[in-house]
Copies of this chain bind each other. A is one copy, B any other.
C-alpha cells in the first residue's frame, strides 16, 4: 500500500510506502529538512507536522493513519506540539494521503515565490485618515455627549466633514478612551464617513495590506497608508492546496463535506492572518494599526473566503453569488488586524473572471488607451481581456496548473532546486540548464517546462501533434516498445533526488491542453470583438515574469506577434490591489470597469472545439496580423 504525501510549504508531492519513514521520502526527493543525527533519533531536529486529509468527522478513535508516536519522540516534542500532530520524520510512517508541513521553511520560500510587480507610482488618496485632536472637556455649561464632542472636534479641522458614524464596538469604549487619554487623542476616520479608532495621541501610524489571493499562492504587501511606502511583502502557499490544486476540486470539497465551506474558508483566513501577523511582527508594527485590507482573487477564492456558497460558479451557467465591490468589517471575517477596520474585495467581472482580473486591468489601464491590448493573465486559471478605451471583452479558460509547474511528473514550484532555464544542444541533444538556488536539480518549474518543450519542438524531437518523434535516437530519449516515452533532462547521478528527472509524454499533453485553452480563448475573444488588430500583448501573472518570451511565443502559448510588442508586467493583480488600497478613486474605477467589461463565454462559441484542437498543435498555435 502506498499513499500520496504533499510537503508544504514546498508544494512537493511524493509517494510513501508502508515501510518507509517520512525521512526516507524527504531524502529521496531532496527536500531540505534538518536531521543532524542522520535519522538515528538522537537529535530531534527533523520535526514535521502531519495534516491528514480525511475530514475529522469521518474518523473514529481507533482509526490509525500513522504509526503511534514513540517515547523517544515525546522526549523531543512539547505537549502543544504533540497535540498539534508534530512528529519526528525519522520515526513517522504514514498510511493515508496526507500533507506534511515542514516548519520554518516558509522563510526560505518567500523570496522566491514572491511576485515581481512593476511597482507603479501611485497617488496617495487612501480611505483612511488620522487626526490629532485636543478636545474640550465637558462642563456643566458644555454637556455635549462624548461622541458629538469628538465629531465636532474633527469637523473643526476637516471642513469637508459634517457628520460621522462610529463603529458600535468602538463606541462602547469611547467614554473611557477619551478620559483615559485626558481628551488628547488620535482619531482614525474612514471614507470621511466613519470613526474607526480613537487612540493615544502618541499613535498616528496607519497601515493597510493588499493581498493577491491565488488558488496556489497568497502574496501580501504591508503598506504605510500615509505615504504609500511598501513596508514589506510576504507570500505563502495557499494551505487549501491539500484539498486539491484547482478551484473545481475546492468547490467539490465544499459541496461534498458538511462544513466543507467553513473548513476551507477558515484555512485561508488563517493563512492571511499568518501573513499579516508575520509582516507586522518583523517590522515592529502593531496589528491594531492595520485598518484596511484590499483583496483580489478569483471568484471561487473570493466566495470561499467570504463563506459564500461557490457551488453555482462551478457549473453552467457559472453564476456567482455576488459580483459587486464588497466591504465588510475585518472582524466579520476573522481577520486579526484592527477590529474596527475593513476588508474590501474588488468586484468580479463574471463567473470565472474575478477581482484579480479587475486588478490587472486597474494596473494596466487598457480602458484608457487607444491601442488594442490583449491581456493574458496565466495562473491555474487563465484570464484574457481584449480591447481598448472604447470596449473591453474578457473571457476565462481552464489552463490547469501545468504552466505553474504543478501536476507534471517532475514539476515543482519556482523554488530552490527547480530547473528554470533549459537549452538543448542541436547535435548532441544534451541539455544545459539553470537551477534556482544553485543546488542540485530536484524538478522543473513552469519557465523550465516551456524552455524544454520549445527546445524539443525546435529540434523536432516533438512532432506537431505533441507526440515524441520515435525516429530520433539519443540516450536521452527512453523508448518502450520502440516508441519514445520520455526525455531525460537530468540523470540520476546529477540530480538532487537520486532519480532521473524526465519529461514524459503526459507532461507534454498537459502543456498542450493549457496552451490549447489559451489559444481558443484568445482567438474566439478577438473574433467576437470584431477588432482586427492587436497592438500589444500584455503578459501578467507571476508565471509570466519568469518565462522566456521567445520560447513561449514559439510553442504558441499566445498569438504570434513581434517580440517587442509583448510586454511582461509581472503580478499586475497585486499591483492593482495596491492601487485600490492606496487610492479611493482607483477603487471607484474598479467598480466601473467591472461593470463595463463584456464577458464572453468562449466555450459557447461555435468554433470552440475546432480552435481548441488547433491550438494544441506545435510549433505554432495562433497567428494573427
Closest to A311 in B: B175
In this assembly, does A105 line the interface, its C-beta being within 8 Å of a C-beta of chain B? no
- Known contacts A148-B323, A168-B332, A350 near B143 by CB under 8 Å: yes
Query: In the assembled complex, which residues on chain B have CB atoms less than 8 Å from the CB atom of A332?
Result: 168
Within 8 A of B (CB), among A269-328: 306-309, 311-312, 316-324, 328
CA gap between A179 and B309 in the complex, in Å: 12
The 8 A CB mask of A110-147 against B (1 = contact, 0 = none) is: 00000000000000000000000000001110111111
CA gap between A332 and B320 in the complex, in Å: 28
In this assembly, does A604 line the interface, its C-beta being within 8 Å of a C-beta of chain B? yes
Within 8 A of B (CB), among A356-390: none
Query: In the assembled complex, which residues on chain B have CB atoms less than 8 Å from the CB atom of A340?
Result: none
Q: Which of A146, A179, A307, A319 has the most CB of B within 10 A?
A: A319
In this assembly, does A176 line the interface, its C-beta being within 8 Å of a C-beta of chain B? yes
B321 touching A146, Cβ below 8 Å: yes
Query: In the assembled complex, which residues on chain B have CB atoms less than 8 Å from the CB atom of A179?
Result: 312
The 8 A CB mask of A138-160 against B (1 = contact, 0 = none) is: 11101111111000000000000
In this assembly, does A172 line the interface, its C-beta being within 8 Å of a C-beta of chain B? yes
Of B146, B175, B319, which is within 8 A of A144 by CB?
A: B319
In this assembly, does A348 line the interface, its C-beta being within 8 Å of a C-beta of chain B? yes
In this assembly, does A52 line the interface, its C-beta being within 8 Å of a C-beta of chain B? no
Query: In the assembled complex, which residues on chain B have CB atoms less than 8 Å from the CB atom of A599?
Result: 143
CA gap between A493 and B549 in the complex, in Å: 108
A175 touching B145, Cβ below 8 Å: no
In this assembly, does A11 line the interface, its C-beta being within 8 Å of a C-beta of chain B? no
Q: How far is the CB of A596 from chain B (nearest CB, A)?
A: 15
Q: How far is the CB of A439 from chain B (nearest CB, A)?
A: 46
Q: How far is the CB of A601 from chain B (nearest CB, A)?
A: 6
CA gap between A332 and B168 in the complex, in Å: 9
CA gap between A143 and B328 in the complex, in Å: 25
CA gap between A19 and B145 in the complex, in Å: 51
Query: In the assembled complex, which residues on chain B have CB atoms less than 8 Å from the CB atom of A173?
Result: 309
B323 touching A145, Cβ below 8 Å: yes
- Known contacts A171-B322, A306-B172, A316 near B350 by CB under 8 Å: no
CA gap between A563 and B173 in the complex, in Å: 48
B138 touching A317, Cβ below 8 Å: yes
Within 8 A of B (CB), among A251-285: none
B172 touching A317, Cβ below 8 Å: no
**How many residues on chain A are close to B (CB under 8 Å)?**
42
CA gap between A476 and B604 in the complex, in Å: 100
In this assembly, does A424 line the interface, its C-beta being within 8 Å of a C-beta of chain B? no
Q: How far is the CB of A168 from chain B (nearest CB, A)?
A: 5
Query: In the assembled complex, which residues on chain B have CB atoms less than 8 Å from the CB atom of A318?
Result: 143
In this assembly, does A351 line the interface, its C-beta being within 8 Å of a C-beta of chain B? yes
In this assembly, does A174 line the interface, its C-beta being within 8 Å of a C-beta of chain B? yes
The 8 A CB mask of A168-190 against B (1 = contact, 0 = none) is: 10011111100100000000000
Of B175, B312, B323, B328, which is within 8 A of A175 by CB?
A: B312
Query: In the assembled complex, which residues on chain B have CB atoms less than 8 Å from the CB atom of A348?
Result: 145
Query: In the assembled complex, which residues on chain B have CB atoms less than 8 Å from the CB atom of A321?
Result: 145-147, 171, 174-175
A168 touching B328, Cβ below 8 Å: yes
Closest to A179 in B: B312
Query: In the assembled complex, which residues on chain B have CB atoms less than 8 Å from the CB atom of A322?
Result: 145-148, 166, 171, 174
Of B139, B166, B309, B317, which is within 8 A of A140 by CB?
A: B317
Query: In the assembled complex, which residues on chain B have CB atoms less than 8 Å from the CB atom of A172?
Result: 306-309
A309 touching B175, Cβ below 8 Å: yes
Closest to A168 in B: B328
CA gap between A323 and B166 in the complex, in Å: 12
- Known contacts A148-B324, A322-B145, A175 near B308 by CB under 8 Å: yes
Q: Which of A318, A320, A348, A604 has the most CB of B within 10 A?
A: A320
Closest to A351 in B: B143
B171 touching A308, Cβ below 8 Å: yes
A145 touching B309, Cβ below 8 Å: no
CA gap between A311 and B173 in the complex, in Å: 11
Closest to A163 in B: B324
CA gap between A587 and B348 in the complex, in Å: 37
- Known contacts A175-B309, A309-B175, A320 near B146 by CB under 8 Å: yes
Q: Which of A308, A328, A350 has the most CB of B within 10 A?
A: A308
B309 touching A176, Cβ below 8 Å: yes
Query: In the assembled complex, which residues on chain B have CB atoms less than 8 Å from the CB atom of A307?
Result: 172
CA gap between A145 and B312 in the complex, in Å: 10
Q: Which of A179, A306, A323, A350 has the most CB of B within 10 A?
A: A323
CA gap between A174 and B318 in the complex, in Å: 15
Query: In the assembled complex, which residues on chain B have CB atoms less than 8 Å from the CB atom of A323?
Result: 144-145, 147-148
B317 touching A139, Cβ below 8 Å: yes
Query: In the assembled complex, which residues on chain B have CB atoms less than 8 Å from the CB atom of A604?
Result: 140
Query: In the assembled complex, which residues on chain B have CB atoms less than 8 Å from the CB atom of A176?
Result: 309, 311
B308 touching A601, Cβ below 8 Å: no
Q: How far is the CB of A13 from chain B (nearest CB, A)?
A: 33
The 8 A CB mask of A318-347 against B (1 = contact, 0 = none) is: 111111100010001000000000000000
Query: In the assembled complex, which residues on chain B have CB atoms less than 8 Å from the CB atom of A174?
Result: 308, 321-322
Query: In the assembled complex, which residues on chain B have CB atoms less than 8 Å from the CB atom of A601?
Result: 140, 143
In the A-B complex, list the 6 residue pairs whose CB atoms are closest, starting with the nearest. A145-B323, A147-B322, A138-B319, A145-B320, A175-B309, A175-B321
Q: List 11 A-B contacts (CB under 8 A).
A: A138-B312, A138-B317, A145-B320, A146-B321, A166-B322, A168-B306, A168-B332, A171-B306, A171-B308, A175-B311, A175-B319
18 new A-B contacts, CB < 8 A, other than A143-B317, A146-B322, are A139-B317, A140-B316, A140-B317, A142-B317, A143-B318, A143-B350, A145-B320, A145-B324, A146-B321, A147-B322, A168-B332, A171-B322, A172-B307, A172-B308, A174-B308, A174-B322, A175-B308, A175-B312
